[in-house]
Amino acid sequence: MARFCLQLNAGIGRNLAMAFAADAGERKNSRKIERVELPEKVRNSRVLILGGTGRVGGSTALALSKFCPDLRIIVGGRNRDKGAAMVTKLGNSTEFSEVDINDSKSLQEALKDVDLVVHTAGPFQQAEKCTVLEAAIRNQTAYLDVCDDTSYAFRAKSYMNQALDANVPAITTGGIYPGVSNVMAAELVRAAQSESKAELERLRFYYYTAGSGGAGPTILSTSFLLLGEEVVAYNKGEKIKLKPYSGMLNIDFGQGIGKHDFSTNFAFRNLPEVRSIHEVLGVPTVSARFGTAPFFWNWGMAAMTYLLPAETLRDRSKVQQLVQLFDPLVRAVDEIIGEKVSMRVDLDCSDGRTRIGIFSHKRLSESVGISTAAFALAILEGSTQPGVWFPEEPEGIAIEARETLLGRAAQGTINFIMNKSKRDRFWDLLVRTSSQTRVNHVASAVQASTTELSNPAPSCKDPFSLHLMQL
């Protein structure tokens, strides 16, 4: 199993250990979200959250209400009883709007006098139209979605000119992964390019969730639908296609997740950030792998790709039947295994250096809402230009706003490390949450420090598998 390795000098090691010790006790029980003071002109903005009665939308609404109690949050959904329960939970500045995202008239009515619409009503796989984005542009309403489907994300990008003409700022794939992971990748690339003239060689995303991550049937649907899609990756600038859940290997996520809590196989998944990072940031080799626990979920997922026809896994109605069948079992396992989530982003450059970012949280159902809320706040603050953007594009999240976004998204994390290199120094941005979120800049003036990460060893020796290990 690959080992997470930070090579720091003794002084930095002591500082890092002190940072761990100072926060460890307080961090155990605290999940407080720090309040954000928005500019006065947007402080009372009306934010519509579509899918607001679901796990992701509800978590986003809750996080937004904690970040900015003055925001007027509209919970959008089809179930009035669930909507009423959510409004009661969120408080006085919240209301419910009954809306069907597949009904244009219903959408138009819901978007009246709304400043920002947050689209969390997935799954996005196999959706044929970007109905919410179209409605947002018509109503000149700022837009954010948590799309995790490549086709949908790039279809959304095709509305660039319409959004520009309507002066509408819009971000697609603005959740946790993709979303926060994209911004982490962009910052690693920016740091590498600012430090040296070394060429970018390879960027790899690794995602882990325990069980379903506590995120409910929508995430389960997404997982099954992705099994029906060919995986697109990039190898030395060339687009390649792979079978889902191929090329398995073992990954270590370090503190909070690492080898003590984690031992599973990681396999390729077709995710939009692979293509967007390749095209936007110009990294020639890009791939994304996903794994879960317990280990037999990975075996089961791999088996489904071989036992079920791809047509079945692409059919939303049939996938919903599978979800209904497996959901009780998944929920039972979730109670035992928990819902930890972790992301690791590795960037390799031609100078032989590997830069990494790690983001780990005890609860995916909380972290996805906090992450999505961080993007919503950035849009309200004016960090997004008119047009349709990916998170890693500077027009989507301004470069100077990235650190703020990552700091907000990382609230409540058990481990968040961004390793950046500058011309004359190396520093770690280490976020730990105690009674209030602390952002510790460790090793702020270390000369010629390096960070290396041991590469995961291939689990077999056949040439094709060895080739996959390099992606």
Domain range list for the chain:
40-175+366-409, 180-362+454-469
Q: What is the pLDDT of residue 325?
A: 73
Q: Please give the helix or strand (H or E) that residue 439 lies within, else none.
A: strand 437-446
Q: What is the pLDDT of residue 220?
A: 63
Q: Please give the helix or strand (H or E) that residue 380 lies within, else none.
A: helix 364-380
Query: What CA–CA distance (Å, rounded) separates 443 from 447?
Result: 9
The distance from CA 179 to its chain's CA centroid, rounded to whole angstroms, is 4
Q: Is residue 262 a contact partner of residue 254, using CB atoms and an 8 Å limit?
A: no
Mean pLDDT in consecutive groups of 10 residues from the start of the chain, 471 residues: 32 33 38 90 97 94 96 96 94 93 93 98 86 97 96 97 99 98 97 92 92 62 66 87 66 70 48 95 93 67 70 72 72 75 95 94 94 99 99 98 97 88 38 37 30 38 45 67
* pTM listed for this prediction: 0.79
Query: What CA–CA distance (Å, rounded) separates 300 from 296?
Result: 6
Tell me the two tokens of residue 13: 């090691």
Q: What is the pLDDT of residue 293?
A: 73
Q: What is the pLDDT of residue 271?
A: 87
AA identity, residue 432: R
Query: What CA–CA distance (Å, rounded) separates 47 from 116?
Result: 5
Query: What CA–CA distance (Å, rounded) separates 362 from 340?
Result: 4
**What kind of architecture, by CATH, is found in domain 180-362+454-469?**
2-Layer Sandwich (3.30)
* Domain 40-175+366-409 CATH class label: alpha beta
State how far the alpha carbon of 454 is from the alpha carbons of 1, 267, 345, 356, 443, in Å.
9, 19, 13, 11, 21
